[in-house]
């Protein structure tokens, strides 16, 4: 209550808050990012996977929404939360700063096999730091770790800033986003995991290498986060 005895309205800051408030159906909900100028935001909440409370930050089900986008578009986000979306780097930063969050990645193949990888700690710095990625383990799942500890330091992605075709922040002598056929990502030199390529294009190889060698084997991709 406030000083006048009125009940304060508590706004959900993410899907975990909504799950804690009794929402148990997956779907689109409105959240409020505290301390940000972004205002209310429509997001898709997964309320089933590993206890629910996951906020979807990326989802792809076909190639009808292009991910060959520039820096500003990845910063602000694009798409629709119920189908195909990149939630926006500003939003990811707001949702992960100041506390620990987990990252859950799932890839469903055309044969309907679903593989996943769970990273225990995930956050993204702000634009002044070029949305630098932080990942920490343990990493567990059926996809295998292709982002944090790949066995080749120039393919590990933690600590890498975000790059797009018009903003090259990677360690490759060229531009990984251009080399990979478009799509922003946390490239190193260049990657073993890249989930924003041109759908079913020969330009997009090694979405998650291994076990996913080619993009034409993918039916759906989802990336989602949950605050600890």
Provide the domain count of the chain.
Answer: 1
In a domain, 55, yes or no: yes
Q: What is the CATH number of the domain that holds 188?
A: 3.90.215.10
- Per-residue pLDDT at 105 exceeds 60: yes
Mean pLDDT of the chain: 94
In a domain, 189, yes or no: yes
- Per-residue pLDDT at 39 exceeds 80: no
**pLDDT tens digits along 163-209:** 999 999 999 999 999 999 889 999 999 999 999 999 988 889 999 99
In a domain, 10, yes or no: no
In a domain, 193, yes or no: yes
Q: What's the confidence (pLDDT) of residue 12?
A: 94
- Per-residue pLDDT at 1 exceeds 90: no
| pTM, entire model | 0.94
Cα–Cα distance, 14 to 57 (Å, whole number): 11
Peptide bond preceding 82 in cis form (omega within 30 of 0): no
| 11: confidence class by pLDDT, cuts 50, 70, 90 | confident
Share of the chain above pLDDT 90, in %: 87
- Per-residue pLDDT at 9 exceeds 70: no
In a domain, 130, yes or no: yes
Residue 163 near residue 173, CB atoms below 8 Å:
no
**pLDDT tens digits along 44-59:** 999 999 999 999 999 9
In a domain, 112, yes or no: yes
In a domain, 9, yes or no: no
Domain with 220, as residue range(s), is 15-227
In a domain, 6, yes or no: no
Q: What's the confidence (pLDDT) of residue 4?
A: 57
Mean pLDDT of 1-21: 76
Q: What's the confidence (pLDDT) of residue 169?
A: 98
Q: What's the confidence (pLDDT) of residue 99?
A: 87
- DSSP per residue over the chain, as a string? --TTSPPPPPPP-SHHHHHHTT--S-EEEEEE-TT-SS-EEEEEEE-SGGGS-EEEEEEESSSSS-----HHHHHH-EEETTTEEE--HHHHHHHHTTS-EEEEEEEEETTS-EEEEEEEEEEE--GGGTT-EEEEEEEEESS--SSS--SSGGG--TTPPPBBTTB--SSSSS-HHHHTTS--B--SSS-SB---S-TT-TT-EEEETTTEEEGGGEEEEEEEEEE-
Mean pLDDT of 72-82: 97
Mean pLDDT of 131-139: 97
Comparison of pLDDT for 99 and 221, the residue scoring more: 221
């Amino acid at each position: 209550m406030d000083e006048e005895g009125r009940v304060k309205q508590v706004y959900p800051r993410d899907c975990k808050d909504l799950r804690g408030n009794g929402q148990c159906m997956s779907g689109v909900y409105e959240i409020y990012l505290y301390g940000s100028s972004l205002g209310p935001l429509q997001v898709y909440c997964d309320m089933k996977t590993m206890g629910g409370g996951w906020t979807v930050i990326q989802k792809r089900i076909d190639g009808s929404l292009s991910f060959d986008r520039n820096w500003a578009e990845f910063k602000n986000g694009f798409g629709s939360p119920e189908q195909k979306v990149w939630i926006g780097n500003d939003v990811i930063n707001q949702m992960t700063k100041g506390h620990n969050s987990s990252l859950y990645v799932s890839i469903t193949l055309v044969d309907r096999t679903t593989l996943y990888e769970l990273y225990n700690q995930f956050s993204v710095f702000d634009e002044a730091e070029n949305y630098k990625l932080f990942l920490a383990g343990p990493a567990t799942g059926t996809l295998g770790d292709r982002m944090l500890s790949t066995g080749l330091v120039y393919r590990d992605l933690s600590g890498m800033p975000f790059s797009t075709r018009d903003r090259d922040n990677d360690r490759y002598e060229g531009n990984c986003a251009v080399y990979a056929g478009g799509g922003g990502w946390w490239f190193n030199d260049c990657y073993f995991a890249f989930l924003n390529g041109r759908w079913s294009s020969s330009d997009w190889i090694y979405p998650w290498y291994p076990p996913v060698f080619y993009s034409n084997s993918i039916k759906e991709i989802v990336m989602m986060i949950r605050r600890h």
